[in-house]
Amino acid sequence: MKQRRVVITGLGLVTPLGTGNDKSWEGLIEGRSAINKITLFDPEASPCKIAGEVKDFNIDDFIETKEQKKMDRFIHFGLAAASIAMEDSGLKVTESNADRIGVIVGAGVGGLPAIEKYEQILLQRGPKRVSPFFIPMTIINLTSGHISIRFGVKGPNSAIATACASGTHSIGDAFKLVQRGAADAMICGGNEAVVTPLGIAGFTSMKALSTRNDHPEKASRPFDRDRDGFVMGEGAGILVIEELESALNRGAKIYAEIIGYGMNSDAYHITSPAPNGEGAARCMKSTLMDAGINPEEVDYINAHGTSTKYGDELETAAIKTVFGKHAYKLCVSSTKSMIGHLLGASGGVEAGFCALSIQYGMVPPTINLDNPDSECDLDYVPNKARELDINIAMSNSFGFGGTNACILIKRFTRS
């Protein structure tokens, strides 16, 4: 059976640059850093005092007051982003199509703020004071559950928890469901909110986070020799994807087409990438094979690019392995330089950025790239956005445990 074509018809972005697609995209193209001192808790005792927080988020714009207490912050973001994406797409859910529309939204950690809060309540006030909503507040699949309830969609419903690859795996799995005919449309992506005392402490103890507290806007600097770790971010990125013919029949706006998806494992280490980036390279190769395109056809890569030495260097090596001489003709940029690392939300947000890059013909920059690492010698679009006629973009996500995910997004044409 001929595979069905799958297009992106809606985007919903909640990022440290702002709530909504326009705010996020405008800040990105301006090369604006959204990293600042943590305000969600008092960080003075922490070696890391900075993060990318969503500071303009008004929960009342998206969720009724009585429902807000049933959800942790990551679900707030995911449901808000889904609401933005569904409004953007114009997709109407009816009795006749509800069971053909599904949801897959992932997170890397889930409801850490609620876990920290209710652990203290348990210890200080006893078990009877723990909210009956505590478990539904914290478990990762409840974002998908709330989205399905909000919009009445009754098709496939799942959640992915693959660390920093969660958002990309969610989109890729949803893409395959629509492609093979198990659904006609999917709401998919990732959400995360773990800027908490325990979350920051845990990553700091791994020596993973930047401690450039005096100049937070300079802290996230992928591919730069002076980087000292990644910066935590929070937010959500949700896409509405549809089978092409149904999208065309309802006159939907089409951002781009998803044409390939790859996933694999390093089978090497719980946190470090495989030597020479060989797992990432295999994942990118399988994504190209799934799409049936040659490496030379890719114009832009939204890199995983976390601002860690091994991560940046090994992703660069992997790109060289896969793309050969063409690697030096590609534009490669890390939007984490502006918003930080959103963990499980990063893949959803970055897929949205790729779709917007194709639509507007603009490559977001890698800011703070002042002194490139000698091992990082590709074109990372340093410090300033660039106009580029993008036909195909790749989005990379590589997570702890050696789990890898890549997707390919193409400018939509009828043929």
Residue 238 has pLDDT above 70, yes or no: yes
The whole-number pLDDT of residue 2 equals: 79
Mean pLDDT to the nearest integer, 355-375: 98
Q: Are residues 304 and 172 in the same domain?
A: no
pLDDT, one tens digit per residue, over 11-33 is: 999 999 999 999 999 999 999 99
Q: Are residues 269 and 296 in the same domain?
A: yes
Dihedral sign (CA 312, 16, 11, 358): negative
Domain membership of residue 378 (yes or no) is yes
Active site annotation includes 283:
no
Q: Are residues 71 and 101 in the same domain?
A: yes
CATH number for the domain spanning 186: value is 3.40.47.10
Domain membership of residue 196 (yes or no) is yes
Mean pLDDT to the nearest integer, 59-68: 96
Task: Give the helix, strand, coil percentages of the chain, each rounded to 5.
Answer: 40, 20, 40
Domain membership of residue 255 (yes or no) is no
- Buried/exposed 265-292: b ≥16 CB within 10 Å, e otherwise: ebeeeeeebbeebbbbbbbbbbbbebbe
Mean pLDDT to the nearest integer, 104-108: 98
Active site annotation includes 146:
no
Domain membership of residue 49 (yes or no) is yes
Mean pLDDT to the nearest integer, 103-123: 98
The whole-number pLDDT of residue 350 equals: 98
The whole-number pLDDT of residue 415 equals: 80
Q: Are residues 299 and 177 in the same domain?
A: no
Domain membership of residue 207 (yes or no) is yes
- Total-model pTM: 0.98
Structural domain ending residue among the three candidates 191, 219, 249: 249
Residue 322 has pLDDT above 90, yes or no: yes
- Looking at the chain, the whole-number percentage of residues with pLDDT higher than 90 is 99
Catalytic residue chosen out of the listed positions 76, 146, 304, 331? 304
Taking the C-alpha atoms of residue 329 and residue 139, their distance in angstroms, rounded to an integer, is 43
Structure tokens at 374: 């000698």
What is the chain's mean pLDDT, rounded? 97
The whole-number pLDDT of residue 1 equals: 63
Q: How many domains in the chain?
A: 2
Structural domain ending residue among the three candidates 220, 249, 278: 249
- Looking at the chain, the whole-number percentage of residues with pLDDT higher than 70 is 100
Alpha-carbon distances of 323 from 31, 297, 300, 360, rounded to whole Å = 27, 10, 12, 25
Q: Are residues 196 and 239 in the same domain?
A: yes
Taking the C-alpha atoms of residue 109 and residue 197, their distance in angstroms, rounded to an integer, is 14
Q: Are residues 77 and 13 in the same domain?
A: yes
Residue 71 burial by CB count (10 A; 0-12/13-18/19+): exposed, middle or buried? buried
Domain membership of residue 348 (yes or no) is yes
Q: Are residues 207 and 319 in the same domain?
A: no
44 band by pLDDT with thresholds 50, 70 and 90: very high
The whole-number pLDDT of residue 250 equals: 96
Mean pLDDT to the nearest integer, 232-236: 98
Taking the C-alpha atoms of residue 341 and residue 15, their distance in angstroms, rounded to an integer, is 11
Q: Are residues 165 and 307 in the same domain?
A: no
Residue 74: domain span:
6-249
Q: Give the gyration radius of the chain's Cα atoms.
A: 20
Residue 321 has pLDDT above 70, yes or no: yes
Nearest CA among 136, 138, 152, 62 for reference residue 103: 152
Catalytic residue chosen out of the listed positions 48, 76, 146, 164? 164
Catalytic residue chosen out of the listed positions 76, 146, 169, 341? 341
Beta pairing, strands 185-192 & 101-106 = parallel
The whole-number pLDDT of residue 69 equals: 94
How many CA within 13 A on the CB side of residue 322?
A: 29
The whole-number pLDDT of residue 82 equals: 98
Domain membership of residue 415 (yes or no) is no
Q: Are residues 195 and 278 in the same domain?
A: no
Structural domain ending residue among the three candidates 249, 276, 308: 249
Q: Are residues 229 and 308 in the same domain?
A: no
Residue 174 has pLDDT above 70, yes or no: yes
Q: Are residues 236 and 365 in the same domain?
A: no
Mean pLDDT to the nearest integer, 309-320: 98
Backbone angles phi, psi at 363, to 5 degrees: -100, 120
Mean pLDDT to the nearest integer, 141-149: 98
Q: Are residues 297 and 219 in the same domain?
A: no
Active site annotation includes 304:
yes
Domain membership of residue 282 (yes or no) is yes
Taking the C-alpha atoms of residue 271 and residue 387, their distance in angstroms, rounded to an integer, is 35
